[in-house]
């Protein structure tokens, strides 16, 4: 049986660091408020003019180097984002010529914080079906240009940061290594609990001076509802993933959770009886980078020398949509 495995991984964050104290200069907030409620200390912001596809390009180059491949080796490109370069066409189409792959298929995935897991599931299925060999998956976000820096938007703005991370997925050299399992869910009844309403295609024209001047142009979030559902759904999906795969918590070397909020992840670890050190974090330094967050953390973990061949990893995400899911990967 063909299995897919991560053949290379890389990430890129823009150099500009924005601390909680920096944000407190722009809106009524404080380092203490942000750290206590989220665990976030700082995040990165891309400079004006940098797009989602630009950050993605750097991450893809690093993943290709790690895989010892060139763009010519890639058969298919998947880009996950909630901050695309433009309304259309898809950002993967903007990335492809920058990368120089030739006319391979390009797919945008719009599943927010779970975007990487949706992309991994699609790529894994394409490789297992024998349709493609080497698929480049990248999660990339430039949030900083679409955040409300007035007090009205402070609950959302302090959470997010810019960044990108990519993996090359290829046929696994060994039948017991690679992507062992994925599970995806969504509950669209909660679509408006975290959304950006500006592109309302039912309005004619969809963008008018009135809508551009309204709060709809900024992300809107019901933070408490997001928090509550994130904890419940992550606990459910992680437990189900362990059960259907006959795994115990002890079999998992690390859980690589989406990096939204330290308190969400700590609560999930506690409820499932996982030692906290098994749940890895880097949101302190990057905030929530949405589709990039899981591969960004995975890349750091790999580069810090924390992964040995055969380690069992459980990836888990919850986000806007609501969408959520898991993947089990044997490194």
Per the document, the length of the chain is: 331
Q: If you write DSSP's letter for every residue of 159-212 in order, what string do you get? A: TB--EEEEEEEEE-SSTTSEEEEEEEEE-GGGGGGEE--S--TTSSSSS-HHHH
Q: Which of 37, 61, 98, 271 binds ligand ACO (CB under 6 A)?
A: 37
279 touching ligand ACO, by CB under 6 A? no
- 60 catalytic, yes or no? no
Cβ atoms < 10 Å from Cβ of 225: 14
Least Cβ distance, residue 287 to ligand ACO (angstroms): 9
Q: How many residues bind ligand ACO (CB under 6 A)?
A: 24
Residue 130: phi and psi, rounded to 5, are 80, 15
Task: Give the alpha-carbon dihedral of 229, 35, 113, 273, to 10 degrees.
Answer: -50
For position 38 contacting ligand ACO by CB under 6 A, the verdict is yes
318 is a contact residue toward ligand ACO (CB under 6 A): yes
Per CB under 6 A, 260 contacts ligand ACO: yes
Q: Cα-flanking dihedrals φ and ψ of residue 228, to 5°?
A: -60, -45
Contact 294, 117 (CB under 8 A): yes
Does 55 help bind ligand ACO (rule: CB under 6 A)?
no
**Which of 115, 319, 321, 325: binder of ligand ACO (CB under 6 A)?**
319
Cα distance between the two ends of the chain? 18
Q: Which is nearer to ligand ACO, 60 or 142 (CB)?
A: 142
Here's the x/- map for ligand ACO, 142-171, by CB under 6 A: it reads as ------------xx--xx------------
Please tell me which residue in 106, 111, 113, 265 is annotated as part of the active site: 113
Q: Are 312 and 328 in contact (CB under 8 A)?
A: yes
240 is catalytic: no
52 is catalytic: no
Binding site for ligand ACO (CB under 6 A): 29, 33-34, 37-38, 113, 154-155, 158-159, 194, 221, 223-224, 226-227, 230, 258, 260-261, 288, 318-320
- Residues tagged active-site: 113, 258, 288
């Amino acid at each position: 049986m063909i299995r897919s495995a991560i053949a290379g991984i890389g990430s890129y964050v823009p150099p500009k660091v924005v601390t909680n104290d920096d944000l407190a200069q722009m809106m009524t907030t404080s380092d203490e408020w942000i750290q206590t409620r989220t665990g976030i200390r700082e995040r990165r912001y891309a400079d004006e003019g940098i797009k989602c596809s630009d950050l993605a390009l750097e991450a893809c180059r690093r993943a290709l180097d790690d895989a010892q491949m060139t763009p010519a080796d890639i058969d298919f490109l998947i880009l996950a984002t909630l901050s695309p370069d433009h309304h259309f066409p898809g950002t993967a189409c903007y990335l492809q010529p920058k990368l120089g792959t030739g006319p391979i298929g390009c797919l945008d995935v719009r599943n927010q914080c779970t975007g990487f897991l949706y992309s991994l599931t699609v790529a894994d299925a394409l490789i297992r079906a024998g349709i493609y060999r080497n698929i480049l998956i990248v999660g990339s976000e430039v949030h900083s240009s679409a955040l409300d820096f007035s007090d009205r938007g402070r609950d959302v703005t302090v959470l997010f940061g810019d960044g990108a991370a990519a993996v090359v997925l290829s046929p696994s050299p060994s039948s017991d290594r690679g992507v062992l399992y994925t599970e995806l869910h969504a509950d669209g009844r909660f679509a408006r609990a975290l959304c950006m309403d500006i592109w309302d295609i039912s309005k004619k024209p969809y963008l008018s001076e009135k809508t551009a001047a309204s709060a709809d142009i900024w992300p809107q979030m019901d933070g408490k509802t997001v928090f509550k559902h994130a904890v419940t759904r992550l606990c459910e999906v992680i437990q189900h993933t362990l059960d259907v795969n006959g795994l115990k918590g002890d079999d998992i070397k690390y859980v690589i959770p989406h990096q939204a909020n330290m308190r969400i992840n700590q609560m999930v670890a506690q409820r499932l009886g996982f030692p906290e050190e098994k749940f890895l974090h880097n949101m302190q330094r990057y905030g929530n980078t949405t589709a990039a967050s899981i591969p960004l953390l995975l890349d750091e973990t790999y580069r810090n020398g924390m992964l040995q061949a055969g380690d069992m990893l459980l990836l888990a995400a919850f986000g806007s949509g609501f969408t959520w899911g898991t993947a089990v990967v044997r490194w």
